Amino acid sequence: MIDKPSSWLVVLYTVSPEPSKSKVRIWREFKKIGALYPQMSICLLPDNNETKKKVSSVSKIVKENGEIIILEGRGVLENDQDKILEKFRFERDKQYEEILEECQEFMDEIELNIKNKKISQEEVEEMEEVLEGLKTWLKKVQNIDWIESPPLSQKVEKLLARCNDSMDHFAELIHPK
């Protein structure tokens, strides 16, 4: 008989869906050694006090509608920690890239408004709201970017400063000096 475990191995893996026999083989091998495949969503978060408080709050919502299990874990194999950090960095980079795209669209729209002489108080107010939304979005991403301050974050900040300058120029067109 195996001793009752005091900790768990949470194994995260991904394999190509084709050929399906590879996926089935891996599933069967894990089942042979007693793996449980709970029908649950899984997410990874950094293990720190701030995150634990937030998870506690979210867990109350989950318990109203389902079940939650919270495990502590760490990488076992040599590069596991680096792989996890790489995945977090990839997700943040995608978010920064999206903001960069939206910033460029913002500046393009201002240029188009100026070119088409679509300059009004309402248009300025609308564009100011968009700019504030971009700034808020960046702050939210930076707040969950706990790995390091990446070059992409700085690139977004610089582009947002240019967006701000474009906005100032656009607003001045309805109230020239």
Cis peptide before 151 (omega within 30 of 0): no
Q: Alpha-carbon distance 28 to 35, whole Å?
A: 9
For residue range 25-80, what is the model confidence (pLDDT) as tens digits? 888 998 888 888 888 888 999 888 889 999 999 999 999 888 888 988 888 888 99
Mean pLDDT taken over the chain: 90
Q: Is 20 strand, coil or helix?
A: helix
Cis peptide before 19 (omega within 30 of 0): yes
Q: Alpha-carbon distance 165 to 176, whole Å?
A: 15
- Give me the residue spans of the domains in the chain: 80-172
Q: What is the pTM of this model?
A: 0.81
